[in-house]
Structure 1
Amino acid sequence: MDLSHLGTPIGPMVRIHGGFANRMYRLDTDQGSFAVKELNLVDRRWDYRVEDVFRFERAAFAAGIPMPEPISAGHDTLVHRWVEGETVPEAPVSAEFAFEIGEILARVHALDVAWPQTPIEEPTSWDWPELAARAAATGQPWADELASHVETFLAIAHFVDTCERPGPVVLTHRDVQPWNLLAREGRPVVLDWELSGMLDLSGELGSTALSLAKGPGLDGIKPDIFRSVLDGYVAGGAVLPPSGPSWFVYMIGGWLGHTRWNILRCLAGVEVGSGPDLALSQESARNGVRGLPDLFSRLPELETLLV
């Protein structure tokens, strides 16, 4: 990758481990510090709209959205100004932090940015029996659990395919999760915009609010934190969509696709040259096989958060 426009390096580029889809590096030069993201183009679930996302990011940054400054975008590389901050743990955030996230989403959704009409959603997959058989044949450590939940995964796929989305559809980040946030002086900074695109509003709000109101599992959900995100959204001048299961279908569908993608990486058993490490794919596959059935079974309980 040609990074000469970033200045003269003052040290080697350092890999920052932990990315779920791509690979991140820090580069320090005489012009400052930069986050250099190497996009995974080997086995992506859908194509990146690099130019569209970069234009959206530039508009958001110009509007004062707290985020790293977008510097450049190429076919396989994204560059942002490096931002120092604290990682946000997968645990309920403070009510103030959640409220500000809601306000940020309202501001993002109010941006006037042109976007192509063609959707980027990946089709729902129904090959769970075949995946379970392949997992057993290749001795995957989570094979028995997957086999026991095949009918549940098929029911999840049916839910994702048939759940009605009431709208409106907004241009948004689509992935405001703890691992895509930093806390700087206690206030949020939104990272990793490359999944940006059009999304049903209820799916964006439900995914964001739930992720900020819980820990790794579903036993510690804080309803007041969930509501704080929504209160911040309304305080930002926006209107909430109707209540219903659509608030959680995007989160469930996204996790379903992410789990299947990591299962395929594990079945191949080869360390791919880009994207997450094989060990991280094993962890993600295991977490999905165990966590998705639990999340789906609690859908009626989650809907009570909207009352």
Structure 2
Amino acid sequence: MDLSRLGTPTRPLTRVSGGFANRTYRLDTDQGSFAVKELNLVDRRATYHVEEVFRFERAAFAAGIPMPEPISADRELLVHRWVEGERVPESPVSRAYAREIGEILARLHTLDVEWTHAPVDEPTPRDWPALAARAVATGQPWADEFAAQVPTFLAIADLVDTCDRPGPVVLTHRDVQPWNLLARDGRPVLLDWELSGLLDLSAELGSTALSLAKGPGFDDIEPAVFRAVLDGYAGAGGVLPPSGPSWFVHLIGGWLGHTRWNVVRCLAGAEAATGPESAVSHAAVRDAVRGLPDLFGRLPQLDALLP
């Protein structure tokens, strides 16, 4: 990495733990501290629209959205000003925090930023039987559980392909999850904008509200926290879309695609040069083999959370 434009380092570049798709480092120089993200160029799941995402980030930062200042972006590296804060655990957040997230999304959706790429969802994966057979043949530690869930994964694919999206479509972050948030003085800071783009509003609100209202599984969902996100959105002038399964289809479809990506990485049997380590991919598959069927089975219950 050529980072000389960021100043003279005051200590070595340091790898930051975490990261489900890319690798992040902290750089301290005589010009300040920076978060440097090395983009995975080997097997990205979707095209990253560097210039448009950076323009969206700059507009959001200028509008006062709480986020790291975007410094530069190119095909290989994203650079932001480092922000100190506490990591947000995967557990229900406070109602005040949830409400402020809703307000942030409402403000974000009013920004007038040019976006020239139409929303394109990646093809819904349906090769689960073949992948399961390969997992069994290669002795993957999660192979038997995975093979048993193939019918459920195919049913999820049917849902994703047939679910109506009522609109409107908004330009938004698309990935407001606990691991993409910090708490600074108890208030949100929104990180990791590279998946930004156009998305059905119900999908953005449903995914965000559910992720902030639950723990690692789906046994401890806090309805009051879920609704606080929506109250914050409506209170800041946002108009809530019609209720229905579209609120959760982006979450479950995105998780399905992410699972396949990690399964393929595990089956390759070699550590990739970029992106998450093999151990992270194996953990992601194990979590999905149990979590995706659980989420799919609870979809009728989640309707009760909707306005």
TM-score interval w.r.t. the shorter chain?
over 0.9
Sequence identity, in percent?
Answer: 75
User: Where do 5+ consecutive residues of structure 1 fail to align?
Assistant: none
What SS does structure 2 have at the residue aligned with 1:298? helix
Distance, in Å, in 2 between the alignment partners of 1:178 and 1:255 is 15
In structure 2, give the amino acid aligned to 1:279: A
What SS does structure 2 have at the residue aligned with 1:79? strand
Q: Report if aligned partners of 1:71, 1:80 keep a CA contact under 8 Å in 2.
A: yes
4+ long deviations beyond 6 Å: none
Distance, in Å, in 1 between the alignment partners of 2:7 and 2:150 is 52
What SS does structure 1 have at the residue aligned with 2:214? coil
Aligned to 1:12: 12
Q: Report if aligned partners of 2:119, 2:199 keep a CA contact under 8 Å in 1.
A: no
Residue 47 of structure 1, CA deviation:
1.3
Distance, in Å, in 2 between the alignment partners of 1:188 and 1:99 is 10
Q: Report if aligned partners of 1:120, 1:197 keep a CA contact under 8 Å in 2.
A: no
Residue 52 of structure 1, CA deviation:
0.7
Residue 257 of structure 1, CA deviation:
0.4
What SS does structure 1 have at the residue aligned with 2:43? coil
Residue 165 of structure 1, CA deviation:
0.2
What SS does structure 2 have at the residue aligned with 1:43? coil
Aligned to 1:268: 268
RMSD: 0.7
Distance, in Å, in 2 between the alignment partners of 1:132 and 1:235 is 47
**Taking structure 1 as the reference length, what is the TM-score of the superposition?**
0.99
* Pairing of 1:132-211 with structure 2 (within 5 A): 132-211=132-211
Residue 37 of structure 1, CA deviation:
0.2
Distance, in Å, in 2 between the alignment partners of 1:261 and 1:33 is 32
Residue 119 of structure 1, CA deviation:
2.6
Aligned to 2:60: 60
* Pairing of 1:201-240 with structure 2 (within 5 A): 201-240=201-240
Distance, in Å, in 2 between the alignment partners of 1:112 and 1:224 is 32
In structure 1, give the amino acid aligned to 2:82: W
Residue 116 of structure 1, CA deviation:
1.4
* Pairing of 1:51-90 with structure 2 (within 5 A): 51-90=51-90
Distance, in Å, in 2 between the alignment partners of 1:68 and 1:120 is 27
Deviations, residues 138-186 of structure 1 (Å, cap 9, x unaligned) = 1111111111111110000010011000000000000000000000000
* Pairing of 1:236-255 with structure 2 (within 5 A): 236-255=236-255
User: Where do 5+ consecutive residues of structure 2 fail to align?
Assistant: none
Residue 219 of structure 1, CA deviation:
0.2
Distance, in Å, in 2 between the alignment partners of 1:258 and 1:273 is 18
**Taking structure 2 as the reference length, what is the TM-score of the superposition?**
0.99
Aligned length: 307
In structure 2, give the amino acid aligned to 1:30: D
Q: Is 112-121 or 257-266 further displaced after alignment?
A: 112-121
Residue 117 of structure 1, CA deviation:
3.2
Distance, in Å, in 2 between the alignment partners of 1:73 and 1:18 is 21
Deviations, residues 200-232 of structure 1 (Å, cap 9, x unaligned) = 000000000000000000000000000000000
Deviations, residues 45-67 of structure 1 (Å, cap 9, x unaligned) = 01111111000000000000000
Q: Report if aligned partners of 1:101, 1:188 keep a CA contact under 8 Å in 2.
A: yes
Residue 120 of structure 1, CA deviation:
3.7
